[in-house]
């Protein structure tokens, strides 16, 4: 997961060359810092689908919550008659502080925990359609029978796990029941959880991406209309910036003027420059200029936004090939990452989108957005299994820090977590 991102960070710190494992502790610290910086904030998620028409109108960045510690009264405000009371109040406050000190977990652990809670909350719709329905099904059932399997099948299919995965899970469970390894429906819950985890882990092996020794790390972002490409670019930029990387953005979506404006808003939020041409310009020309600047000015990362296109639009898919070619000509090995953004709410269709984009420009990583807005989060497992392309990020909201590095364990644990019932 994001091995390339962390390696670059380590390289900047003049860390002597060492293996990924050796780098791990430092990477973990870096991840913690990035998690802490993106303080959890409770944003309201509306039940409605994001409005495509309003995509140029971006949500405001929520303010970081103010410190809630009350300020102690200044000396000037304290009347001499009240000194005794003030002293006793002060003692009380000190005592309270000590209690807080004793009971509050270390900040990093607390933040990590709250990030997990937040992820779990954002997956509420999928939890309801998948995990809670399974729990309700098993509640009070004493034995595993054919009827229970039928109902389970319906639940798994509805959560968009896909037919093949559903059948594989059920066949495996049936075999365990037959061998009498499984008789209690409640144990079946654990078996399902582990099965889903292993599907993702087997298929989502983190790909080793080799960072360029010199020059910018070039990311080309592609996908169909409205899936969340530009928003995801804004969020990724934030991640890179927070770990000290310089980022340049290229507005190669020249289809609509609003698209350039939208990327510029994200550029402003992150304090990074955006290379753009006028509406209708050749996107390859924008990319060429951006590559020039990224190389000349020694940027660490260049992220290229492209226009949304249907995977079935042959001409537009050819245009993507051209953009990619231009990058490779200007800098050998570029783009180092072709990131396909998939909207989780579109479910199974995402798999066919990915196949066609993959045929055209060889996808190296996936970002699965809008997992907060769908009850079909099972698509994550399906995508891992069917595509065997690593999921790098999951989008769980519209705010700048609503993008998580995809961690299979964290995802499955958040889905099955009981504390947010
Ligand atoms: N709830 C939610 N909304 C998201 C997420 N990611 C993106 N969106 C919303 O999806 C809508 C479309 O996002 P864009 O980033 O404009 O999508 P795009 O792929 O760049 O669109 P085009 O450039 O028109 O193809 C916007 O309203 C975003 O706020 C997410 O993870 N969760
Ligand atoms: Mg866009």
Whether the CB-CB separation of 303 and 273 falls below 8 Å is answered with no
- Give mean pLDDT, residues 395-408: 93
Instruction: Determine if ligand 1 sits within 6 Å of the CB of residue 223.
Output: yes
The CA-atom distances, in angstroms, between 86 and each of 40, 69, 72 are 35, 17, 10
Ligand 1 atom closest to the CA of 54, numbered from 1: 27
Q: Is 83 exposed, middle or buried (0-12, 13-18, 19+ CB in 10 A)?
A: exposed
Q: Check whether 136 has a pLDDT greater than 70.
A: yes
Sequence length of the chain is: 421
Q: Check whether 114 has a pLDDT greater than 50.
A: yes
- Rounded to whole angstroms, the Cα distance separating 317 from 337 reads 17
E strand or H helix at 292, and its extent? helix 283-296
Instruction: Determine if ligand 1 sits within 6 Å of the CB of residue 395.
Output: yes
Both ends of the chain: CA-CA distance in Å? 29
- Rounded to whole angstroms, the Cα distance separating 51 from 395 reads 16
Q: Check whether 8 has a pLDDT greater than 90.
A: no
Among the ranges given (84-98, 311-325, 367-381, 394-408), the one the predictor scored with the smallest mean pLDDT? 84-98
Q: Name, in order, each residue with C-beta under 8 angstroms of 270's C-beta and a sequence gap of 6 or more.
A: 234, 237, 238, 241, 247, 400
What are the pLDDT digits (tens) for 24-83?
333 333 443 344 344 333 333 233 333 333 343 444 444 333 333 333 334 334 444 444
Query: Quick one: pLDDT at residue 347?
Result: 83
Query: Quick one: pLDDT at residue 17?
Result: 36
Whether the CB-CB separation of 299 and 246 falls below 8 Å is answered with yes
Query: Quick one: pLDDT at residue 250?
Result: 98
> 194 C-alpha vs ligand 1 centroid, how far in Å?
32
Query: Quick one: pLDDT at residue 305?
Result: 98
> 88 C-alpha vs ligand 1 centroid, how far in Å?
55
User: Which ligand minimizes its atom distance to the CA of 222?
Assistant: 1
Looking up tokens 């960072």 gives 211
Q: Check whether 138 has a pLDDT greater than 60.
A: yes
- Give mean pLDDT, residues 210-217: 78
- Rounded to whole angstroms, the Cα distance separating 248 from 292 reads 11
User: Which ligand minimizes its atom distance to the CA of 251?
Assistant: 2
Query: Quick one: pLDDT at residue 91?
Result: 60
Beta bridge partners of 389: none
Q: Is 385 left (phi over 0), alpha (psi -120 to 50) or beta?
A: alpha
Q: Check whether 316 has a pLDDT greater than 60.
A: yes
What are the pLDDT digits (tens) for 339-350?
999 999 998 888
> 395 C-alpha vs ligand 1 centroid, how far in Å?
10
Confidence class for position 313, pLDDT limits 50, 70, 90 = confident
Among the ranges given (19-23, 104-108, 200-204), the one the predictor scored with the smallest mean pLDDT? 19-23
The CA-atom distances, in angstroms, between 181 and each of 138, 196, 210 are 17, 19, 44
Q: Check whether 367 has a pLDDT greater than 90.
A: yes
- Look at residue 312 and give its three-state secondary structure: coil
User: Which ligand minimizes its atom distance to the CA of 54?
Assistant: 1
> 234 C-alpha vs ligand 2 centroid, how far in Å?
10
Prediction pTM value: 0.77
Instruction: Determine if ligand 1 sits within 6 Å of the CB of residue 253.
Output: yes
- Rounded to whole angstroms, the Cα distance separating 41 from 115 reads 10
**Residue nearest ligand 1's atom 6 by CA:** 228
Query: Quick one: pLDDT at residue 417?
Result: 87
Confidence class for position 84, pLDDT limits 50, 70, 90 = very low
**Mean pLDDT across the chain:** 79
Among the ranges given (70-84, 148-162, 168-182), the one the predictor scored with the smallest mean pLDDT? 70-84
Whether the CB-CB separation of 221 and 339 falls below 8 Å is answered with yes
Query: Quick one: pLDDT at residue 403?
Result: 94
Q: Check whether 1 has a pLDDT greater than 80.
A: no
> 227 C-alpha vs ligand 1 centroid, how far in Å?
5
Instruction: Determine if ligand 1 sits within 6 Å of the CB of residue 225.
Output: yes
Instruction: Determine if ligand 1 sits within 6 Å of the CB of residue 230.
Output: yes
Backbone angles phi, psi at 321, to 5 degrees: -60, -40
- Give mean pLDDT, residues 2-31: 41
Q: Check whether 139 has a pLDDT greater than 70.
A: yes
Instruction: Determine if ligand 1 sits within 6 Å of the CB of residue 275.
Output: no
Q: Is 176 exposed, middle or buried (0-12, 13-18, 19+ CB in 10 A)?
A: middle
Higher per-residue pLDDT: 353 or 312: 353
Instruction: Determine if ligand 1 sits within 6 Å of the CB of residue 64.
Output: no
Query: Quick one: pLDDT at residue 205?
Result: 63
């Amino acid at each position: 997961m994001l091995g390339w991102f962390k390696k670059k960070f380590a390289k900047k710190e003049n860390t002597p060359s060492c293996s990924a494992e050796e780098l791990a502790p430092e990477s973990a610290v870096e991840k913690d810092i990035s998690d802490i910086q993106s303080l959890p904030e409770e944003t309201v998620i509306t039940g409605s689908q994001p409005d495509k028409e309003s995509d140029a109108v971006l949500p405001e960045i929520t303010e970081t919550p103010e410190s809630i510690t009350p300020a102690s009264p200044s000396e000037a405000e304290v009347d001499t008659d009240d000194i005794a009371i003030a002293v006793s109040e002060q003692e009380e406050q000190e005592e309270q502080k000590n209690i807080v000190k004793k009971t509050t977990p270390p900040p990093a652990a607390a933040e990590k925990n709250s990030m997990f809670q937040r992820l779990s909350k954002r997956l509420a719709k999928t939890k309801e359609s998948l995990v809670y329905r399974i729990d309700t099904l098993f509640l009070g059932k004493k034995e595993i029978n054919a009827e229970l399997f039928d109902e389970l099948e319906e639940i798994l299919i509805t959560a968009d796990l896909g037919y093949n995965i559903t059948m594989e899970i059920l066949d495996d469970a049936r075999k365990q029941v037959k061998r009498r390894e499984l008789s209690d429906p409640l144990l079946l819950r654990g078996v399902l959880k582990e099965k889903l985890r292993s599907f993702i882990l087997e298929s989502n092996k983190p790909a080793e991406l080799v960072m360029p020794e010199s020059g910018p790390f070039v990311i080309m972002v592609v996908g169909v209309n409205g899936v969340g490409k530009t928003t995801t670019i804004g969020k990724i930029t934030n991640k890179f910036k927070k770990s000290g990387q310089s980022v340049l953005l290229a507005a190669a979506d020249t289809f609509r003027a609003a698209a350039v404006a939208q990327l510029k808003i994200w550029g402003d939020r992150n304090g990074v420059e955006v290379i753009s041409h006028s509406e209708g310009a050749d996107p390859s020309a924008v990319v060429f200029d951006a590559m020039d600047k990224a190389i000349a000015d020694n940027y660490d990362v260049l992220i290229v936004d492209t226009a949304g296109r249907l995977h079935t639009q042959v001409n537009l898919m050819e245009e993507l090939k051209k953009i990619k070619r231009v990058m490779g000509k200007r800098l050998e090995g570029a783009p180092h990452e072709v990131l396909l953004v998939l909207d989780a709410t579109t479910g199974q269709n995402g798999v066919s989108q990915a196949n066609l984009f993959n045929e055209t420009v060889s996808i190296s990583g996936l970002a699965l957005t809008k997992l907060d807005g769908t009850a079909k989060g099972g698509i994550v497992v399906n995508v891992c299994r069917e595509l065997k392309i690593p999921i790098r990020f999951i989008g769980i909201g519209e705010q700048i820090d609503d993008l998580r590095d995809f961690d299979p364990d964290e995802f499955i644990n958040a889905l099955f977590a009981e504390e947010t019932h």
